[in-house]
Structure formats: structure tokens, C-alpha cells
């Protein structure tokens, strides 16, 4: 009986030990997950080093990645907020992918340290707005499938040439600001009620506009008039409208359609001559360049003055020496 009791006790202890070890390992895994020690992988693409942290349940951007990464994949995590310190460690970033998260809020200044950022993907989040201080070099911005997105001023992103705001439940195109370099705009899969020349005038170099095919599908005079104004504007500026058709009015004047686009043309011409706002970085670079140039000029002037003085002294010594030789010969 004692043996059986001891054996059962030993078996029970072993089972408890295994269970304890399992719980410890599970707890450690949870601690590792909570602490951010996940297995982000590094790779090189087009001679750029980057980190892939895709689908690792991060609730914030980790601070322990290599500081020199130029691209970062953070898609399909659990990030809800980007603060102004979330990305300050990674100032070399050029490509940032944050799609498929739960991002609702982005603080002003969240991207201010990313002065080389070219591509930003925030698709499939819960954004309401975007901070106005986007990096000047930004070329491509993906914001599709943000159902609550309404406020979207992008004029700081002067060099933006691609914008995707499809599937954002938009009733109208947001006031994007003046974007003279935008070439492609995707507003498809939105319940848009209208698209007017005034919406497109600040996008003076637009080449491709993706619209919902159902826009202007009705045949009443007002809808046909809006269609006429849109087609007039896009045709004159060679803007392509893939997979979109509407029926323009044959006689817009007879239908009382307003064909005056003078105000839109003023805005369009202002866009054509727009220049980017000077950033702090560019101001500092200009100041440093000016200071360096001034220093070089001062050094050159000081060197030339010293050289002239030295030559003058040498000439005087040479003259005195020649005079002494002449006096000796005469004597």
C-alpha cells in the first residue's frame, strides 16, 4: 500500500511538474509577446534593408528594430494609435506599410521625423482623419477601406502622385488641398453623389481618375448636366476615366446647364504654378550651405591677404638685398 501510495504520489508530482512547466512556458510566451520580442525578420530589397513584422499581434510599433531600416511591414497587427514618438527611432524609412490594423488616431507629428518617406499604406483601418504635416517626399498614399475617413487635407504632401481612397463610404471627394503632382486618384467603390470640376481643379496634372461606375447613371436633366460638366473638364485635360460612362447633354444651353468654368480655371491655373512650402529641414540645409560658403570665402580672402603680405615682405627683403649689393659694388 505504501509503494502504491508513493508511486501514485510520484506520478502525480511528475504530472504537476509537466503542467507547471507548460504554464511557465505559456506565460513566458505571453510575456515575450507582450514585451515585443517577436520574430520580425530582416531582408534586403532593391539594396534597401527592411523589417517584416506582418501578423505578429503587435499593439504598437516595436522600438527594438534596427534603426537603419528603410522599409517596414507592420500589416495585420493590432495597432490602434500612432503617437508622435511611434516612429521617431526610424528616420531612414522610405516605405511604411500599416494596412490591416485598427488605427483610429494618428497624432500630429507622427510622421515628422520621416523626411525621406515615399510610400505610406494605411489601408483597412478605422481612420477618421490624417495629420496635415505629411512628409514632403511622399509619393504614394494608400487609404482604401477606411469607412470613417472624412477630413483629408493633403496639401503638405506636395509631391504626391498616387492616392487611393476607394471603399471609404465617401459621399463626395474630400477637400484634398492643392496637389499639383497628383496623377492617379482612385475614389471607386464609394457612394459618391457628385464629382465636379471644382473637385478636380486643384489636381491640375491628374491623368487617371477611377470613379464608381454607377455615378450619374440617372437620366434626369440635373444629372445629365453634372455629367456634361465632368466630361467637358476631363476631356479637355485628357484625364482618363476607366470603366466609367455617363450620357452628356446634347444641348446643355437648352437644358439650362451652367457651362461657366471660369472660377475652376482660376484655381486650375494657380495649381499649375504652385510651389512646395519650405520645410524646416530645407531651411536648415540652406542656412548650413550659406554658412559653409561664407566660411570658405572668408578663409580664401584671409589666405590671399596673408599671401600678399608675405610676398610684399619678401619683395622688400629682395629690394634691400639688391640695394646692399649695389652699394658694395659701388664702394
Among candidate residues 10, 14, 61, 67, the one with its CA nearest the CA of residue 38: 61
**Residue 252, CA distances (Å) to 197, 215, 238, 261, 265 in order:** 16, 19, 21, 14, 19
End residue of a domain, out of 249, 272, 295: 272
295 shares a domain with 259: no
Does the residue 73 lie in any domain? yes
pLDDT tens sequence for the chain (331 residues): 444 443 444 445 544 444 443 433 333 344 344 444 569 999 999 999 999 999 999 999 999 999 999 999 999 999 999 999 999 999 999 999 999 999 999 999 999 999 999 999 999 999 999 999 999 999 999 999 999 998 899 999 999 999 999 999 999 999 999 999 999 999 999 999 999 999 999 999 999 999 999 999 888 888 889 999 999 999 999 999 999 988 877 788 777 788 899 999 999 999 999 998 754 454 454 456 666 777 776 787 777 777 776 666 666 667 666 666 556 656 5
267 shares a domain with 129: yes
295 shares a domain with 242: no
174 shares a domain with 292: no
Does the residue 66 lie in any domain? yes
284 shares a domain with 237: no
Residue 248: CATH number of its domain:
3.80.10.10
Does the residue 223 lie in any domain? yes
Does the residue 14 lie in any domain? no
CB burial string 232-258: b at 16+ within 10 A, e below: bbbeebebebeebebebbeebeeeebe
136 shares a domain with 255: yes
288 shares a domain with 173: no
Domain count, the chain: 2
Containing structural domain, residue 212: 40-272
Whole-structure pTM value: 0.75
300 shares a domain with 229: no
285 shares a domain with 165: no
Does the residue 23 lie in any domain? no
Amino acid at each position: 500500500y505504501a509503494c502504491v501510495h508513493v508511486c501514485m504520489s510520484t506520478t502525480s508530482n511528475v504530472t504537476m511538474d509537466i503542467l507547471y512547466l507548460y504554464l511557465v512556458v505559456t506565460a513566458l510566451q505571453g510575456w515575450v509577446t507582450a514585451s515585443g520580442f517577436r520574430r520580425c525578420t530582416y531582408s534586403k530589397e532593391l539594396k534597401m534593408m527592411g523589417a517584416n513584422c506582418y501578423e505578429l499581434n503587435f499593439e504598437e510599433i516595436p522600438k527594438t528594430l534596427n534603426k537603419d531600416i528603410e522599409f517596414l511591414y507592420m500589416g495585420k497587427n493590432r495597432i490602434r494609435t500612432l503617437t508622435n514618438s511611434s516612429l521617431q527611432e526610424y528616420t531612414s524609412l522610405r516605405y511604411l506599410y500599416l494596412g490591416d490594423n485598427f488605427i483610429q488616431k494618428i497624432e500630429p507629428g507622427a510622421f515628422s521625423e520621416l523626411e525621406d518617406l515615399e510610400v505610406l499604406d494605411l489601408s483597412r483601418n478605422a481612420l477618421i482623419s490624417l495629420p496635415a504635416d505629411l512628409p514632403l517626399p511622399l509619393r504614394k498614399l494608400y487609404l482604401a477601406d477606411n469607412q470613417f475617413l472624412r477630413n483629408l487635407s493633403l496639401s503638405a504632401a506636395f509631391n504626391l502622385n498616387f492616392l487611393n481612397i476607394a471603399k471609404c463610404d465617401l459621399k463626395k471627394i474630400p477637400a484634398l488641398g492643392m496637389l499639383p503632382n497628383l496623377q492617379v486618384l482612385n475614389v471607386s467603390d464609394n457612394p459618391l453623389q457628385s464629382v465636379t470640376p471644382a473637385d478636380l481643379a486643384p489636381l491640375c496634372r491628374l491623368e487617371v481618375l477611377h470613379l464608381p461606375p454607377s455615378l450619374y447613371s440617372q437620366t434626369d436633366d440635373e444629372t445629365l448636366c453634372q455629367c456634361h460638366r465632368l466630361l467637358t473638364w476631363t476631356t479637355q485635360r485628357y484625364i482618363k476615366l476607366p470603366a466609367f460612362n455617363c450620357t452628356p447633354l446634347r444641348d446643355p444651353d437648352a437644358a439650362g446647364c451652367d457651362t461657366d468654368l471660369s472660377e475652376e480655371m482660376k484655381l486650375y491655373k494657380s495649381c499649375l504654378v504652385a510651389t512646395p512650402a519650405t520645410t524646416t529641414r530645407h531651411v536648415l540645409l540652406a542656412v548650413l550651405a550659406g554658412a559653409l560658403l561664407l566660411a570658405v570665402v572668408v578663409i580664401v580672402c584671409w589666405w590671399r591677404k596673408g599671401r600678399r603680405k608675405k610676398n610684399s615682405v619678401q619683395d622688400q627683403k629682395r629690394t634691400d638685398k639688391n640695394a646692399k649689393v649695389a652699394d658694395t659694388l659701388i664702394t
